[in-house]
C-alpha cells in the first residue's frame, strides 16, 4: 500500500507519515522504485499513532506507548503510568485556561466596546 492510501486509511497526512518515519516511529519497506510500501502492521501502527496523538500524548509518549503496544509481555502498569501523568498535565492545563477565562471574561464584560478610548481591558494590562 502506497503512502496516499496509508494516509487515507490512518487519517494522517502523508507529510506526517513521512515525518514519523524520519523520527523512527515506523519503517515501511521500499519498492524497487523507491516508493514506500505499507504493510498491515505498519497501518496498525499508524492508526495507533493517530489515536494516541489525538488523545494529546506527545510524540515521545507515543513512541513508548507503541513499544508497549508491540510488547506482548508489557505490564499494564507501565501504560497506566504514562496515561495518568498525561491526565494530570491535561488537568493542569485546564485549570490554567479556566483561570485565564475567568479573568478575561470579567474584563470583556466590563468593557463597553464602543468608539470611546476608555477600556478596562487596556487599563488592566497596563497594570
Partner DNA sequence: ATAGAGCTTCCAGCAACTGGAAGGTCAAGC
Partner DNA sequence: GCTTGACCTTCCAGTTGCTGGAAGCTCTAT
DSSP annotation of 29: E
Stretch that binds a second copy, among 1-9, 23-31, 32-40, 101-109 (CB under 8 A): 101-109
Which residue in 27, 29, 35, 67 binds DNA (CB under 7 A)?
A: 35
Q: Which long-range contacts (CB under 8 A, 24 or more apart) does 1-5 make?
A: 1/37, 1/38, 1/39, 1/43, 2/35, 2/36, 2/37, 2/38, 3/35, 3/36, 3/38, 5/38
The verdict on 59 binding a second copy (CB under 8 A) reads no
Q: Does 63 bind a second copy (CB under 8 A)?
A: no
3-state secondary structure of 48: helix
80 binds a second copy (CB under 8 A): yes
- To a second copy, the closest distance from the beta carbon of 25 in angstroms equals 14
10: which residues sit within 8 A by CB, 6+ positions away? 17, 43, 46, 47, 49, 50
Assess 75 for contact with a second copy (CB under 8 A): yes
∠ CA 67-72-78 to the nearest 5 degrees? 55
Q: Which residues contact DNA by CB under 7 A?
A: 2-5, 13-16, 18-19, 31-36, 53, 58-60
Q: Which residues contact a second copy by CB under 8 A?
A: 44, 47-48, 51-52, 55-56, 65, 68-69, 71-77, 79-81, 83-84, 86-87, 90-91, 93-94, 97-98, 100-101, 103-105, 107-108, 111-119, 121-122, 124-127
Amino acid at each position: 500500500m502506497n503512502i496516499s492510501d496509508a494516509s487515507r486509511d490512518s487519517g494522517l497526512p502523508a507529510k506526517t507519515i513521512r515525518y514519523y518515519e524520519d523520527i523512527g516511529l515506523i519503517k515501511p519497506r521500499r519498492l524497487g522504485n523507491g516508493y514506500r510500501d505499507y504493510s498491515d502492521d505498519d497501518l496498525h501502527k499508524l492508526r495507533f499513532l493517530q489515536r494516541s496523538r489525538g488523545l494529546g500524548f506527545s510524540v515521545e509518549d507515543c513512541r513508548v506507548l507503541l513499544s508497549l503496544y508491540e510488547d506482548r509481555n508489557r505490564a499494564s502498569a507501565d501504560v497506566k503510568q504514562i496515561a495518568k501523568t498525561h491526565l494530570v498535565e491535561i488537568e493542569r492545563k485546564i485549570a490554567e485556561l479556566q483561570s485565564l477565562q475567568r479573568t478575561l471574561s470579567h474584563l470583556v464584560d466590563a468593557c463597553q466596546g464602543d468608539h470611546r478610548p476608555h477600556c478596562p481591558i487596556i487599563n488592566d494590562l497596563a497594570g
